[in-house]
Chains A and B, each alone.
Chain A
Amino acid sequence: MPSRSHDIRLLLLEIGLPLLLFALIDVGFSSYLSHHPAVPMPQLFGSDPLSTGKFLALRERALQTGRIDVLLLGMSQMMRVNGEQLEEELGEQTRRPVRVFNFSGPYHSFSFDQILVRDLIAPIANPAIVVYGITPLALLNDDVTVEQSQRRADAMPVMATYVGSPIARLRAFVTMHLSLLRYREAIRDAFEPPLGWKPQPFDQQAHATTPTGDVPLVTGNFVVQGMAPWELSRKKRFADFDSVLHDTLLFDHLEEFARFCRERGIELVLLNNPVHPLFLEALPQQQRDYERYLALVRQAAAQAHVRLFEPAPDGLGQPDLYGDTVHHNAAGGAWLTEQVARYLIDNRLISAASSARESGIDR
């Protein structure tokens, strides 16, 4: 008959040793990850590896600098604004270090980004300025209510990292500190046939996210001659443009986002991203519909008391600066970055933000 002390010893070993082994395996796995570039991204944002890459880069950056002066947000067209270049230009102009981070990505929307800034970005590094870029595609993307966006965000393992109920924070804390848990979905996927890692589209880009939130983009300098098949699908969605304008929640969400920024002391700049002239073919009444859109954006910005920056007053960019009808190519990205830098300097937004920080105003 085993003694009680024998049972206690066994109990401690049976609980302690597996936990120790588990911890060692987690450490080993972390080391493997850091030496293995082909590993898929952890699915902290569900099936959006780019946001995961950006979030991890932002966290890393915030640990070093603790602040972000300019946060770039919006859909994928904003990914062409180069954070590193913007940082350099603003630094040169103001002669002080300026921190820029680009958190834009495909399918972002005002309603989702408000949750993103509130729950993830601000708790790490409350930005002084947000430059939010939109194109007419945003009309289609801000199509769900704030509640629906919240539900979507709640399903993302990362979302309660800094806010939420104590239980949600505990869950997020564990997720962020155990590599095995953070990469759970990637590991599960590896067990599906064929065995092994299956990098998803964008995984490699996400892995290469720079400290300023930039990801390497395929943006060759070729002439855009028309809409690609995937771009033509928009034509169908814009077919009843009146309904699109009627149904979109873009302007409501913009107003809400502007209020949110004001309350947080964040300066919001709405950037009207110019599009390639061929983009107008996606709209039923082409120029007329685009002008209606521009008028609504201007009206919404005025009502929400938001600065509106329009690098091209007619909303149309130079054709040779585009990779497709919405996204700039490398030269276009550089041009747009310069425009943003100039706008922030000319309007003294950077110096105002920096002075406010230096004088200790709590933003």
Chain B
Amino acid sequence: MLFNSYEFVVFFAVVLVAYWSLPARWRIYLLLAASYAFYASWDYRFLSLVLLSTVIDFASGLAIHSTDDPRRRRLFLALSMSADLGILGFFKYYNFFVANLRDLLTHLGVTTHLATLDLILPLGISFYTFQAMAYTIDVYRRAVEPSRDFVTFATFVSFFPHLIAGPIMRYDQLYPQLKKCGPSNPLWIRMGVFLLLQGYVKKVVISDNIAPVVDQVFGNIGRYGAGQLLEAALLFTAQIYCDFSGYSDIARGIAYFLGVELVPNFRAPLLAASITDFWRRWHISLSHWLRDYLYIPLGGNRAGSGRTYANLMTTMLLGGLWHGAEWKFVAWGGLHGVLLAIERRFRPRRAVPRLASAVRRLAAHLAGMVPTQAVVVLAFVFFRAASIGDGWRLIVGIATGAGLAAVLTLRLAYTCGAIALLDLPVLLTDQQAWALRLPLGARVALYTAFLLAIVTLSGARNQSFIYFAF
């Protein structure tokens, strides 16, 4: 049941009417039932994994909290982490490690009979596992009190708007809202309307229309000239951004209707002026998760510059691997790690004096934005290509420069124009629901334009969301 399907529209309408009709105490049961039904509509067999993860972390939280003995607390935490990472590792990384180990041993002249398994990656496993793990770690750190209400906790893990592709919510952000299960309010619904419309425009109008072109070029790299390869690389960056941020917008919009506020996951990352700025704007909930539960526990930047760079690289490499069990994702993460390290090494020690005029500030921003986005696009080539080798071939193809003028297509202009239109206000106002600040007439015109675009310009086929694969 994709967000961009009629099935989901009907499902959500039914859930919404029921949610608004029910007394507050029953709403949590409705949300849990709806979330499980939503997940089961993909593959009911994997519902047991969601439930298992829920039970493990619920019990672990209580067990850790029940004792002050540091060794026992560590033991319970370790058991919980092992179970969570064990499930994730088995379904997502088992074949990757087995295949690589087998290749390595064969290379060393050792014959093995390690077999890969015919595994299906359960939908959203990386997202809900990270969310549940964060809860257990927070309980261990005594940052939060453990939940004693299984139904609400199960809803916290499986809340359907963000179950499949985030944003990854923290326990202290989401659980109290679910515990109250209060009604929504007109302001939140207005924000929800805007985010829903904007999310659908990003997904079905921008991303889905680009997808066939990107698939075609990335699937046949050798057939295209530099211009078309460059266009495909640029379009893929736009595609993955609009696909993922569109999902996040829709998820947040839906949640607002249900009286729940989810954290923003994107803040105009394609207008970022540095790689550090990019990671403050791209997949924010994952960046924060990696910072709080990986980078800082590794020592962060408190143990000398050498260690800082090592921590940065470790975090980015694992962040890349989180996306999928393939070396190309590791390469993508690694490339960003290197770029972040370079930026860190050469950034000015003292704060840059604030530029007086708006024009100069804009010029400075653009001066940073252009090279930043160039390397972002370059790195995404590896993310999308079938392999690191294919990604390299595409970059070499662009570098030949033959027929580079072919990059200037109307399609690319539409795409860039649409993204700029949606993201410039976010950059300038730092408001996600920026449209609510427009005069009513402009807002009505904007929403009508959104509706028209969704109905008439949406992609020919419903494409699944890219991040569902992670």
Please determine whether B440 and A18 come into contact, CB atoms closer than 8 angstroms. no
CB within 8 Å of B: which A55-102 residues = none
The count of chain A contact residues (Cβ–Cβ below 8 Å) is: 31
Closest to A171 in B: B6
CB within 8 Å of B: which A1-42 residues = 4, 7-8, 10-11, 13-15, 17-19, 21-22, 25
Question: What are the interface flags for B437-470 relative to A under an 8 Å C-beta threshold, 1 for contact and 0 otherwise?
Answer: 0001001100110111001111010000000000
Please determine whether A17 and B452 come into contact, CB atoms closer than 8 angstroms. no
Distance from B297 Cβ to chain A, minimum over Cβ atoms (Å): 42
The count of chain B contact residues (Cβ–Cβ below 8 Å) is: 26
Question: What are the interface flags for B85-119 relative to A under an 8 Å C-beta threshold, 1 for contact and 0 otherwise?
Answer: 00000000000000000000000000000000000
Closest to B197 in A: A18
Please determine whether B410 and A192 come into contact, CB atoms closer than 8 angstroms. yes
Q: Does B193 contact A (CB under 8 A)?
A: yes
Give CA–CA (A41, B180) in the complex, Å.
Answer: 53
Please determine whether B452 and A11 come into contact, CB atoms closer than 8 angstroms. no
Q: Does A191 contact B (CB under 8 A)?
A: yes
Please determine whether A184 and B456 come into contact, CB atoms closer than 8 angstroms. yes
Distance from B23 Cβ to chain A, minimum over Cβ atoms (Å): 21
Q: Does A116 contact B (CB under 8 A)?
A: no
Give CA–CA (A8, B193) in the complex, Å.
Answer: 13
The one of A11, A18, A192 in contact with B444, judged by C-beta atoms closer than 8 angstroms, is A18
Contacts of B172 in A (CB 8 A): none
Known contacts A7-B187, A167-B7; is-contact A180 B455 (Cβ 8 Å): yes
The one of B7, B185, B440, B458 in contact with A4, judged by C-beta atoms closer than 8 angstroms, is B185
Contacts of B460 in A (CB 8 A): 185, 188
The one of A11, A22, A167, A183 in contact with B10, judged by C-beta atoms closer than 8 angstroms, is A167
Contacts of B83 in A (CB 8 A): none
Give CA–CA (A181, B456) in the complex, Å.
Answer: 6
CB within 8 Å of B: which A157-193 residues = 166-168, 170-171, 174, 178, 180-181, 183-185, 187-188, 191-193
- Give the number of A-B contacts (CB < 8 Å): 72
Q: Does B414 contact A (CB under 8 A)?
A: yes
Contacts of B448 in A (CB 8 A): 17-18, 21-22, 25
Give CA–CA (A25, B190) in the complex, Å.
Answer: 23
Please determine whether A178 and B457 come into contact, CB atoms closer than 8 angstroms. no
Known contacts A7-B187, A170-B6, A171-B6; is-contact A181 B455 (Cβ 8 Å): yes
Please determine whether A187 and B456 come into contact, CB atoms closer than 8 angstroms. yes
Please determine whether B414 and A11 come into contact, CB atoms closer than 8 angstroms. no
Distance from A188 Cβ to chain B, minimum over Cβ atoms (Å): 6
Contacts of A21 in B (CB 8 A): 444, 448
Please determine whether B190 and A19 come into contact, CB atoms closer than 8 angstroms. no
Contacts of A184 in B (CB 8 A): 455-458
Distance from A193 Cβ to chain B, minimum over Cβ atoms (Å): 5
Please determine whether B186 and A191 come into contact, CB atoms closer than 8 angstroms. no
Q: Does B290 contact A (CB under 8 A)?
A: no
Contacts of B455 in A (CB 8 A): 22, 178, 180-181, 184
Give CA–CA (A159, B189) in the complex, Å.
Answer: 35
Give CA–CA (A99, B448) in the complex, Å.
Answer: 44
Contacts of A180 in B (CB 8 A): 452, 455-456
Please determine whether A193 and B444 come into contact, CB atoms closer than 8 angstroms. no
Please determine whether B451 and A22 come into contact, CB atoms closer than 8 angstroms. yes
The one of B185, B190, B411, B450 in contact with A10, judged by C-beta atoms closer than 8 angstroms, is B190
Contacts of A13 in B (CB 8 A): 440, 444
Known contacts A18-B448, A170-B10, A193-B410; is-contact A10 B458 (Cβ 8 Å): no
Contacts of A8 in B (CB 8 A): 186
Chain B CB within 10 Å, residue with most, of A10, A14, A19, A174: A14
Give CA–CA (A168, B444) in the complex, Å.
Answer: 30
Known contacts A14-B193, A15-B193, A184-B455; is-contact A167 B6 (Cβ 8 Å): yes
Give CA–CA (A271, B190) in the complex, Å.
Answer: 62
Contacts of A167 in B (CB 8 A): 6-7, 10
Give CA–CA (A181, B414) in the complex, Å.
Answer: 21
Give CA–CA (A181, B453) in the complex, Å.
Answer: 10
Contacts of B444 in A (CB 8 A): 13-14, 17-18, 21
Give CA–CA (A7, B193) in the complex, Å.
Answer: 13
Please determine whether A11 and B189 come into contact, CB atoms closer than 8 angstroms. yes
Give CA–CA (A168, B10) in the complex, Å.
Answer: 11
Contacts of A170 in B (CB 8 A): 6, 10
Contacts of B185 in A (CB 8 A): 4, 7
Known contacts A192-B410, A193-B410; is-contact A11 B186 (Cβ 8 Å): yes
Closest to B5 in A: A167
Chain B CB within 10 Å, residue with most, of A178, A183, A184, A185: A184
Closest to A2 in B: B187
Distance from A320 Cβ to chain B, minimum over Cβ atoms (Å): 45
Contacts of B209 in A (CB 8 A): 188
Question: What are the interface flags for A92-115 relative to B under an 8 Å C-beta threshold, 1 for contact and 0 otherwise?
Answer: 000000000000000000000000
Give CA–CA (A4, B455) in the complex, Å.
Answer: 32
Give CA–CA (A15, B187) in the complex, Å.
Answer: 13
Contacts of B414 in A (CB 8 A): 191
Closest to B451 in A: A22
Give CA–CA (A21, B452) in the complex, Å.
Answer: 10
Closest to B7 in A: A167
Chain B CB within 10 Å, residue with most, of A17, A181, A193: A17
Contacts of A181 in B (CB 8 A): 455-456
Distance from B193 Cβ to chain A, minimum over Cβ atoms (Å): 6
Give CA–CA (A17, B451) in the complex, Å.
Answer: 12
Please determine whether A25 and B452 come into contact, CB atoms closer than 8 angstroms. yes
Question: What are the interface flags for B309-345 relative to A under an 8 Å C-beta threshold, 1 for contact and 0 otherwise?
Answer: 0000000000000000000000000000000000000
CB within 8 Å of B: which A179-237 residues = 180-181, 183-185, 187-188, 191-193
Give CA–CA (A171, B190) in the complex, Å.
Answer: 26
Contacts of B457 in A (CB 8 A): 184, 187-188, 191
Known contacts A11-B186, A167-B7; is-contact A188 B451 (Cβ 8 Å): no
Contacts of B410 in A (CB 8 A): 192-193
Please determine whether B6 and A14 come into contact, CB atoms closer than 8 angstroms. no
Please determine whether B190 and A11 come into contact, CB atoms closer than 8 angstroms. yes
Distance from A175 Cβ to chain B, minimum over Cβ atoms (Å): 10
Closest to A16 in B: B444
Known contacts A14-B443, A18-B444; is-contact A7 B456 (Cβ 8 Å): no
Contacts of A15 in B (CB 8 A): 193
Distance from A178 Cβ to chain B, minimum over Cβ atoms (Å): 7
Please determine whether A18 and B451 come into contact, CB atoms closer than 8 angstroms. yes
Residue pairs across A and B with Cβ atoms less than 8 A apart, 16 shown, are A4-B186, A10-B440, A11-B193, A14-B440, A14-B444, A18-B444, A18-B451, A21-B448, A22-B448, A25-B448, A167-B10, A180-B452, A180-B456, A184-B458, A187-B457, A191-B414
4 residue pairs, one from A and one from B, having the closest CB atoms: A7-B186, A18-B447, A18-B448, A21-B448
Task: Name A's B-contacting residues (CB within 8 A).
Answer: 4, 7-8, 10-11, 13-15, 17-19, 21-22, 25, 166-168, 170-171, 174, 178, 180-181, 183-185, 187-188, 191-193
Q: A14-B193, A17-B448, A22-B451 are in contact. List 5 more A-B contacts (CB 8 A).
A: A14-B440, A21-B448, A22-B452, A180-B452, A193-B410
